Structure 1
Amino acid sequence: MSAYLYTWNPKRWKWADQPEAICRIGDGEQYDIYWSCGNTKKTVVGDIFFLIKLGVEPKGIIGCGYISSFPYSLPHWDEEKARQGLSALRTDLLFKVLSEKPIISIEQLQERYPAYNWSPQASGLSVPEPIASELFSEIQQSPAFGFPIPTTNEVRLYAEGKSKTVTSKTYDRSPHARQACIEHYGYTCCVCGFNFEKVYGVLGENYIEVHHLKPVADIGKEYLIDPIKDLRPVCANCHRMLHKQRPPLAVEELLAHNPALQGTLSDKAAQRP
């Protein structure tokens, strides 16, 4: 099994879904997202990846998991290049570990493995087997980040179970749908107006849950959605109340249960640019 280094520079791309992703992975849920793999076409399903944060301090490895697709082409992640019609290779990454702060700092990496380039310009750099084995073992044995290791076949079965269709819209369970929803509506609950950062400070910064107005479980299959029309940011309390019954309550129905909240949805809609 090979290993590859993927990069994330917050200055170049805002990962709006990251705080929710950290919580989901910490709860043992599956989380995958497509990521630029540079020019490499050698990756295969089941290979290991390490995600390193660059460009903004603190730098270092913040994520680890398994590559869950072969490389495929999508419009370039840089909006200007995408407008020019350029594309870039992506692979799906199935995260098993994700942290806001580095698990292994770039200073530690450079000190331990000085011959390796820990600040590449693009993702997809192959990590030598001795280095990859040591890093993976260190993460795996960590009390905070250790996880059950799936077999290569389990990763392949997971990958085969996902739809390979990629369009201008995205699948209901896709992190990219949540990303688009949060970028449009922001981090404030669309039902009650709760904002985690305002209440909890830095701890709650950039955190919100995303509610699916059309539950995929009730449809019985994956379906294409419009993240702006079909998803809404909600706080944990409102999210639980929306799903208190099946089918879930509509946002307007939940508002009707609390007269003190009535009008908040229309007020926020009027204020939204």
Structure 2
Amino acid sequence: MTAFLLIWSPRKWPWPELPDMAKRVAAGEAVADVWGCGVARGIMPGDRVFVHRVAQEPKGLFASGYVTRAPYEVPDAASKRGYRLCIDFVYDWLVDAREEVVIPRDALRTHPFSVQTWDAQSSGTSIKPMVEGALEKRWKELTGARIRPALAAGKNRK
């Protein structure tokens, strides 16, 4: 399995549904989402994703999930290409990042996490293998063991 980084900037997208979605995930609901993945076409169903809040505090990782659909093109008049690539995934962990994050950005500056570029400009960056294992271990320590969510949940946002 490969892991990828998804980026959320509240300056670019306020995400008003986030508190409700976080509550639903915390209640054990399989909450699906759609996310732009930059130019990353190598993301496959079953791959792991982590969501990183950038641009405003609190910065850091606050969500994780599993990809359910490989990248596909969505029309986007604002893009130079005329489309953007998106993936579908289902959360296994999500907190309201306007209030808290699971792993703060400062913690990601320490080894082995420091070898990864966390402040990417777009989503879809591959998480380096040496970081992936340490990240999964730390994530599990902080969030507890989670059951992999069902992959047949409905989509929530674009």
- Which of the five TM-score ranges fits, normalised by the shorter chain? 0.7 to 0.9
**Other-structure match for 1:268:** none
Tell which has more relative contact order, 1 or 2 (C-alpha 8 A, sep 6+).
2
Which digits, 9 at most, give the CA deviation of each residue in 1:193-246, with x for residues without a partner? xxxxxxxxxxxxxxxxxxxxxxxxxxxxxxxxxxxxxxxxxxxxxxxxxxxxxx
Flag as ranges the 4+ runs of structure 1 deviating above 6 A: none
Aligned positions of 1:123-272 closer than 5 A: 123-142=123-142, 145-150=143-148, 158=151, 161=152, 173-176=154-157
Closer, same or farther: CA 61–87 of 1 in aligned 2, 3 Å: same
Match of 1:87 in 2: 83
What is the identity, as a one-letter code, of the residue corresponding to 1:96? D
Q: Secondary structure at the match of 2:34?
A: strand
Give the corresponding residue for 1:229. none
Shift of 1:137: 1.8
Q: Which has the higher helix share?
A: 1
Correspondence 1:67-86 to 2 at 5 A: 67-76=67-76, 81=78, 86=82
Contact 2:4/2:126 (8 A) holds in 1:
yes
Q: Which residue of structure 2 lines up, in the alignment, with residue 23 of structure 1?
A: 23
Q: Deviations along 1:19-78, whole A, 9 cap, x unmatched?
A: 0110000000010110011101101100011100001111000101111111001133xx
Query: How many pairs align?
Result: 154
* Residue type at the aligned position of 1:102: V
Q: Secondary structure at the match of 1:12?
A: coil
TM-score normalised over the length of structure 1: 0.52
Contact 1:96 1:147 in 2 (8 A): no
Distance 1:10 1:96 in 2: 21
Q: What are structure 1's unaligned runs of at least 5 residues? A: 163-172, 180-273
Q: Indicate the percent of aligned positions where both proteins have the same amino acid.
A: 25
- Counterpart of 1:227 in structure 2 is none
CA offset at residue 146 of structure 1?
Answer: 2.1
Return 5+ residue gaps in structure 2 as ranges.
none
Change (3 A) 1:124 1:85: closer
Distance 1:85 1:48 in 2: 27
- Residues in 2 aligned to 1:115 and 1:130: alpha-carbon distance in whole angstroms: 9
Query: TM-score scaled by structure 2?
Result: 0.88
Q: Is 1:110–1:118's contact at 8 Å kept on the other side of the alignment?
A: no
Larger relative strand fraction: 2
Q: Which residue of 2 aligns with 1:61?
A: 61
TM-fit CA distance, 1:86? 2.0
Q: Look up the match of 1:168.
A: none
